[in-house]
Chain A
Amino acid sequence: MDLLGLTNAFLIESGASDVVASLDEPADDVAQAIHWLDKSWTRFQLQRYWRFRFAERTIAVTIGKTEYTAADLGAAQGDVIIRDSFWNTNSGVIEYLSYEDIRVLRRAANSADRTKVKHVAMLPTNILHTYPDVTSTQTLSYDYWKGVQTLSEATDTPYGLPEDYHMLITHKALSDYGALIGGQEGQNLYNHHGSEYRILYNAYATFSGEDNQIPAIRKSLGV
């Protein structure tokens, strides 16, 4: 279901408004529904390092440059880079150090082997430091958890989560709605849709075997 479908599911379940044909210039109830749906999807994505958030990327480490910003890395806001997943495609294993350890090495100005990247460190907001300054361009590969997808356009569809489970987004949003409107009906909506959400959530999170969405994080170092 795209955002339009989620919104209409919300409107039908809540009876807050007629279903809508588009999300252009939404009236207040519809705007609230869209907001709650987006918030609900965000919260769901942030609950865990869901399997569908896992991704790989490479970065070219060039001569004379040892600090790479999130923009250099191509990392989006909210992407979580897995520190010990770095791999030098030219030479293999890279050992992850803390920034302070790399700084010690740099200050020591050792006559390191500059043909390959030996160590990397990550600073908050996805700033990458490499050591040593290489003499030829090296390509590093690494893994990361994608940041959250926002829903704003009618055609935006929650990625990764199978369509069968999309209603959990709506149920979560409806419990928000219940909390807002208050009264006995608000209480009922909150309780009912909260449990509907939890049922779908649990079903999704406890897939068995390899599909289990509780991520098994494996260190790439020392395999």
Chain B
Amino acid sequence: MASKYVPLRGGLTLSTSPLDVYPGALKDSLNYHEDTRGGYTRIDGYERYDGKASPSENTYYFARFDSWDTHVTDILINTTITVDSTIEMRVVALDTTTEADTLIAVVCSVDATTIPADLDTTPLDWDGTSSLVSMTLRAATTDTLDDAYLQASWDYTRGLISEIPGTETPAGCLQINDSVVAFRTDTATPKVYYSTATGWTEGTIGRVAEVTGYTADSILPGETIAGATFRVAAVCEWYDSTGTSDVTKAWLVLIPLTAATAPSTGASTASGGASFTIASVINPVVAWGSYIEYELHNFLVDPEDKAAWFCDGTNLAMCYSDTYHCVLPISANYNTVAGTLATSIGVLDDQLMYATGGGSFVISEPGNPFNFGGLYGAAEVGVGALITDMEASDGEHMMVYSSRDAKKLTGTDSSNFTFKTSGGNTGAEARSVRKLDDLYSFSTRGVNQLSRTEAIGGYLGGSVSVHVAESLIGMASKHLCSTTIPGKEQIRWYFSDNRFLTMTRLQTENGPRFSYSFCTYPDRPVRSVSTTVWTTGVERTFFTSDDGYVYEADKGTNFDGATLYSFIELHANHLGDPGADKAFKRVFWEAKSDEDAVLTLGFTLNYGEKSFETASIQAFGGQYVYDEGLYDVARYDSSTRTRSRALLKGRGFAITFSVDHTSQFTKSFNLTGYTIHYNQLGRSRS
């Protein structure tokens, strides 16, 4: 009997002819992506987030209380109890029948570090009679019970997580210094919140004060004014209607240090000794726009430390200072802020740049993101088309995209800027440009690559999605936002039909290869997204959607409690001999998985002409290694590669496999390939 191994790779391939296409490539798929380590990996779920404990990280224990027949104090379901002032736990289920004179309380939200190691010899007293004698991790005796207890634990934790306070659809979120910052308008008031271990905490919106009676350079950023109630983040020029600077006046960008939102008008002093008059105070930030796009950068000026420089398509450019949890407006001229906006933002060579929503972009003075004096190197550059996105490709070039082309800005300041086309057909939809070493954008042409080269012009542009082009038709107009997930060598483009396109870049000896697949979050379009590596080393992706929550992507085993459905359908495999029938005998599926996953294998012959009942295959979770011992329980959860067998039937010249899976509880798994056993028959009559 002949056998053949087919490693799974290639991703979606729609343009190759049916006989030529590699049988490990995908004809269709949902919620899988090709893995840089090989095979196709099912995506993780997503779950709501506000800084509190993660639902998917919660698990349950069996807490055994002895002498329960004579106990004094009841334990009630859906209550939080503390045993002997030592372990706090939430009770999700009770069992007094399985073991005599014993209460088994199924509990969750337990801090594992508070469980004493010697519970069996030194029980913790509950009520003077009964004692806690053991805590056993995930000890349900059946899969059904295990799922039910896990779900109860997750539901409880999920219920503790709140929406971003406010009334409107959230504008989006960003990440800075291991914290998530969310933007949501409450009626007409823009509000900003940052995540903490106790949930969302409100930040502030800074003000800009118009100062008269001012002596040039008498106030410096970092000083405080008005009795140390406001910190000066920036001192900006005051221009009249002809654009002429008035040195007796200035605009101060202010960070509130107390509950007061704005300083009083009238005479005031600065901590550096200057005296001046506050003539007026403006708040240019109105209700948030429909997205948040940002760059993290430390300009080494006030506000101190790394800050997020962002825009929302409605307001002017802004800065979020994580030190002060404060949003600060940025404008080239605070006299004319009405109606000005920023649609895209970038940082090149210590200069803040933002697109104006028209055919131009503005460049700040080097190192001074709040200051836009032309004498000091600031500039506004016309592009000739609506700017859809801008992204620094390296330290020397800012790539500015319109829907049809890409131009590069070179130089260090207004004295030597040059601006030239570098990708004549390499356009981008708004917020679709992402950097994964090279730049990738999404346009009506599909996915475009713009890569640096030694050739004249310095850049090579072109579409890299020809093999999936037919699935991308009409998608450009649905594009919402995008993100790079460097840990997976992946870029994701999100669309308004709840789907997202993943592109994984895989290095081969012939250069990079691009693997595409589609995923979907049902009823949950990703409107604004952010990915950053936290100091824990974990790469985290957060997004906002149509409801009020911030969600963490690639987290947990379900979609915020809802079922995660996934499938792959491979291309037909004629085993190198399309003219001959084969009798298919059996197939061994190879997979890597942390926990057991039961998958449904479907197969058809002769391009779907003959179909058969589905079979069940399993990705076994590491059955060889005990890697976690806890008290008297060993759990098998290390990653290993496993083979699962399914019987095949039928004769035909080609076989097509599909794998379906639906669950709320199954961890991500990776399908790496299959080995098929078959007998060669005679000439195909089909």
Given contacts A15-B583, A15-B650, A17-B650, contact A182 B682 (CB under 8 A): yes
- Is A17 within 8 A of B680, CB to CB? no
B contact patch SS: strand
Q: Give me 4 other A-B pairs in contact (C-beta within 8 A), A17-B650, A183-B681, A186-B681 excluded.
A: A15-B648, A17-B649, A183-B679, A186-B682
Identify the 9 closest CB pairs spanning chains A and B, nearest first: A182-B682, A185-B679, A183-B681, A181-B681, A15-B649, A183-B680, A18-B613, A185-B583, A183-B682
- Is A182 within 8 A of B681, CB to CB? yes
Contacts of B580 in A (CB 8 A): 183
Proximity bits, A19-58, B CB within 8 Å = 1, else 0: 0000000011100000000000000000000000000000
Task: Please give the distance in Å from A171's CB to the nearest CB on chain B.
Answer: 18
Q: Is B635 an interface residue (CB 8 A)?
A: no
Contacts of B609 in A (CB 8 A): 28
Q: Is A208 an interface residue (CB 8 A)?
A: no
Proximity bits, A184-207, B CB within 8 Å = 1, else 0: 111000000000000000000000
Nearest chain-B residue to A188 (Cβ)? B679
Given contacts A17-B649, A185-B583, contact A27 B682 (CB under 8 A): no
Contacts of B682 in A (CB 8 A): 180-183, 186
- Is B680 within 8 A of A184, CB to CB? yes
- Is A185 within 8 A of B649, CB to CB? no
Contacts of A184 in B (CB 8 A): 679-680
Which residues of B does A touch, CB under 8 Å?
A: 580-581, 583, 585, 609-610, 612-613, 648-651, 679-683
Contacts of A181 in B (CB 8 A): 581, 583, 651, 681-682
Contacts of B683 in A (CB 8 A): 182
Which residues of A does B touch, CB under 8 Å?
A: 11, 15-18, 27-29, 180-186
- Is B679 within 8 A of A29, CB to CB? no
Task: Please give the distance in Å from A185's CB to the nearest CB on chain B.
Answer: 4
**How many angstroms from the CA of A181 to the CA of B680 in the assembled complex?**
9
Task: Please give the distance in Å from A11's CB to the nearest CB on chain B.
Answer: 8
**How many angstroms from the CA of A16 to the CA of B585 in the assembled complex?**
10
Nearest chain-A residue to B585 (Cβ)? A15
Given contacts A27-B610, A181-B581, A185-B583, contact A16 B680 (CB under 8 A): no
- Is A29 within 8 A of B650, CB to CB? yes
Contacts of B651 in A (CB 8 A): 16, 29, 181
Contacts of B583 in A (CB 8 A): 15, 181, 185
CB-defined A-B contacts under 8 Å, sample of 27? A11-B649, A15-B583, A15-B585, A15-B648, A16-B649, A16-B650, A16-B651, A17-B610, A17-B612, A17-B650, A18-B613, A27-B610, A28-B609, A28-B610, A29-B610, A29-B650, A29-B651, A181-B681, A181-B682, A182-B581, A182-B681, A183-B580, A183-B581, A183-B681, A183-B682, A184-B679, A185-B679
**How many angstroms from the CA of A15 to the CA of B603 in the assembled complex?**
14
Nearest chain-B residue to A182 (Cβ)? B682
Contacts of A183 in B (CB 8 A): 580-581, 679-682
Task: Please give the distance in Å from A25's CB to the nearest CB on chain B.
Answer: 14
**How many angstroms from the CA of A11 to the CA of B610 in the assembled complex?**
14
Contacts of A182 in B (CB 8 A): 581, 681-683
**How many angstroms from the CA of A171 to the CA of B286 in the assembled complex?**
83
**How many angstroms from the CA of A150 to the CA of B470 in the assembled complex?**
52
**How many angstroms from the CA of A11 to the CA of B583 in the assembled complex?**
13
Nearest chain-A residue to B648 (Cβ)? A15
**How many angstroms from the CA of A28 to the CA of B581 in the assembled complex?**
14
**How many angstroms from the CA of A216 to the CA of B445 in the assembled complex?**
86
Contacts of B681 in A (CB 8 A): 181-183, 185-186
Contacts of A15 in B (CB 8 A): 583, 585, 648-650
**How many angstroms from the CA of A184 to the CA of B679 in the assembled complex?**
8
**How many angstroms from the CA of A184 to the CA of B581 in the assembled complex?**
12
Given contacts A29-B650, A181-B581, A185-B583, contact A18 B679 (CB under 8 A): no
Task: Please give the distance in Å from B374's CB to the nearest CB on chain A.
Answer: 78
Q: Which one of B583, B609, B648, B680 has the greatest number of beta carbons of chain A within 10 Å? A: B583
**How many angstroms from the CA of A74 to the CA of B683 in the assembled complex?**
47
Nearest chain-A residue to B678 (Cβ)? A185
